[in-house]
Amino acid sequence: MKSIIQRVSSASVSVDDADVASIDAGFLVLLGVAKGDTEADADYLARKISALRVFSDNSGKMNLSVAEVGGSVLAVSQFTLCADTRKGNRPGFDRAAPPDEGRRLFEYFVRRLESHGGVVKTGVFGAHMHVSLVNDGPVTIIIDSAEKGQGGT
């Protein structure tokens, strides 16, 4: 399971020109669910993201989590994070989980994020979405559950 976490001043999702969800300060999380991913992967990412200390404290040091600054999370499913670009110029998406499994694990991930005490909003799974954001910093972090246990917690 791969995630791209962007610290944002604001972010929103629309589908067919209708606003679906929006947040002020917090995280935009793009989540790719791959074949073979499990609830343990979602648990790991939810824990890491909710505890990620990339918001400034009173000294200007990145030392606070999204919950500590009263921020929200906008989670958007993005199967294209599972793209295989090793051959040719057209990405292959065979590594992405089938839609039903991807939806199940995405929804599980969202529930796990919520269990860590944060406000979580989502895009529409499987829809063609327009995602807008104001990246704050910019601060962009990539976390891949396949790398858990390698060089850290």
Give catalytic residues, as residue numbers: 78-80
Phi-psi region of 10 (alpha: psi -120 to 50; beta: other; left: phi over 0): beta
Q: Six-digit token pair at 26? A: 């917090």
> Where do we find the tokens 């891949």?
144
Count of helix runs (H) and strand runs (E) in the chain: 2, 8
Q: Name the strand (E) or helix (H) holding 100.
A: helix 99-115
Give how far Cα 66 sits from Cα of 42, 56, 145, Å.
Answer: 18, 10, 20
